[in-house]
Structure 1
Amino acid sequence: MSEEMLRRIASARARPPWARSAEEVLAVEMHARELRQQQAARSAQRDRARREADIRARQRSVTSSGVVIPSPQTRPAKSTKQDPSPRREIDAIEWRRRHNSLARGEPVRTALSAEILSPRRAEFAVRDWLRRNGFPDAEVTPEKGDGGIDVTSSTMIAQVKHYNIDTGVVGVAPVRELFGVLSAGSVRKQALFFTSGRYSSGALDFARRNEIVLYRYRQTGSSIEATPVA
């Protein structure tokens, strides 16, 4: 830094923080960061010199037993790179899949991890699907005390029933509960119901009569596909 800048920093430090301008606060922080970097570099240099001196001392004390202690130049450098995690690998694969799909003009499906969905992860999967299909402000409700609603937005409410097997059946009771929550609200919203299983005939009939849209979704690799059934 120039001498003028150092004088301005010294002047700013002489005043309390609340009396400094935004430019002075930034300059003080940058100067402090630069001092920390210089101190770290000097400390690293001292440590390196100490290790090299220790190695040379040990080399001089080697006896005739033929033991050879490698010099600092021959010691393998310790890698600072971390092994890529499975999550990063999945993200990279998913990015390439999306890129290739867009290049071919194909629709991009909602991306999740390659793991089997849990009920909670299914709620986030449905939220992502809704954001891409007309509800950009869709959000997942808290896990406890959601009042029977799993995903909500300014114009809709949704409930999600996830089953890890295809034999799960949603009866009329959960659909009726969703309608009750909708009727109790002060603002009219669209009611949606999502499941990985099937709907009973009673649930289908109740949904048709009360304008509730039922969806069935399935996990395909690292994404889901949802289709309306009523």
Structure 2
Amino acid sequence: MTELAEWIDPWPLRHLVLRTPRLELRPDDDEGLLELAEVAVAGVHPPEGLPLGRLWRDESTEDIARGLVQALWRDRANLSPLNWSLNFLVRREGKVIGFQGISADQFAIKREVTTASWLGMPFQGQGLGTEARTAVLTMAFDCLAAVQARTTAWEDAHTSQQVSRKLGYRPDGAERGVRRGRPSSFIRMLLLRSGFDHHRPPWPLEVEGLQPCFPLLGTDQP
């Protein structure tokens, strides 16, 4: 058997970390996913509200936990330079408090990313969601050379839309969706790099372990 002349790490994403003043974000791992499932089961919105795509409160505890873990496993298994999703576990003081995702389709050509996120209810209303999304946007624009970012929110998810506007997103139309068997609308929002430049935070983002991940993300951006 021929030995490899040089070890090639098959999953360099395990070394990627983003640090903000209060948070640490790392791509999901199995142990962290179990913590994230606990946060999801405990609740991410009041029973009367449905701000997320998944109907958390309409599912059993077992279905919520298993569905979340399986969904993130699928993203991890299907990741490729042509189509990728990075699902960051958001930690504060070492404890998982939520999820911050960033994904792209044919990023090498489009230079566009899409974000999605949620935090457990005890951690909402403290600016932590804004801080987590700022982290992945800064990584996308400054480290990966993205030119624009997209996100969506239900028409009545006012807090999510407020976070987007705070970071420089602008409305970009709407599309129809279904919740609990009834029609509803998603608000699409678009953020250009120039818009983000006018809404940058006063703190620097600390990034570790990103460069070895470039081939997996369809970029050679130094």
Tell me the TM-score normalized by structure 2. 0.29
Give 1 or 2 for the bigger CA radius of gyration.
Answer: 1
TM-score (norm 1): 0.28
Greater fraction of residues in helix: 1
* Structure with more relative contact order (C-alpha pairs < 8 Å, separation 6 or more): 2
Bigger proportion of residues as strand: 2
